[in-house]
Amino acid sequence: MKAMVLAAGLGSRLRPLTEKTPKALVELGGVTLLERLLIRLRLAGCDAVVVNAFHLAGQVEAFLKGRDFGLRVEVSRESVLLDTGGGLKHAAAFFDDGRPLLVHNVDVHSDLDLGRFYRYHLDHPALATLAVRQRGSSRQLLFDEDGALCGHRGAKGDRWAAGRVSGARALAFDGVHVLSPDIFGLMEETGAFSINDVYLRLAGAGRRIQAFRSDDFAWHDVGKAEKLERARKLF
């Protein structure tokens, strides 16, 4: 299994911590977020990971070169921030084995069983499987009764992939997903773009983007200073 860690962001919500340290190297319980995640990916059966980097990318590269995580790790450097979809597309050549790939935000910490999550995608074929849960969020995804993505709910109201769906359920995205490599050939977007926009467009075209309910697993967004401190207290 191959995976991608999305770690290129500026870490604006973690300032001043990220003025001199990339958010991937911010520590939680004395261990960097990146190392924690790489260990979890290895234990889930991952043997190769690509990490995208932009802000203080040299520090990320030096950190990775100086340690053995028990799996192959490469860095996809971005000359400009490409957002989640653009960053993934930029690293497409890394995923050359024809197998589904796991994508994980570096500033998300959870105990989600990544191996079980990956196997769910294999057993329930879809273009992408998204870990989602019932929790408060200003941005939520909408899923129909069959667990298929059908829209997005944000501050400006609901955005439907292909017409309003009665009884759609709003769920918050965990920032963890498994994708079929077929998605790279379907990305019409260029430059910087969100993977969620790709999902909504493809869902509207009839491609299945499905939900995996992760409510039974602990989850922390450690990309904000106050939430990081809250998580640190747990450790």
Provide the sign of the torsion angle of the four alpha carbons 146, 148, 150, 155, taken in this order.
positive
Which CA distances in Å does 34 have to 30, 46, 98, 125, 235? 12, 15, 25, 29, 16
Average pLDDT over residues 125-145: 93
Count other Cβ atoms within 10 Å, centred on residue 168.
Answer: 19
**pLDDT 10s digits, 200-235:** 999 999 999 999 999 999 888 887 777 777 777 766
Say what angle helices 33-43 and 114-123 make with each other, to 10 degrees: 50
Residues 21-40: tens digit of each pLDDT: 999 999 888 889 999 999 99
Which tens digits make up the pLDDT trace of 68-89? Answer: 999 999 999 999 999 999 999 9
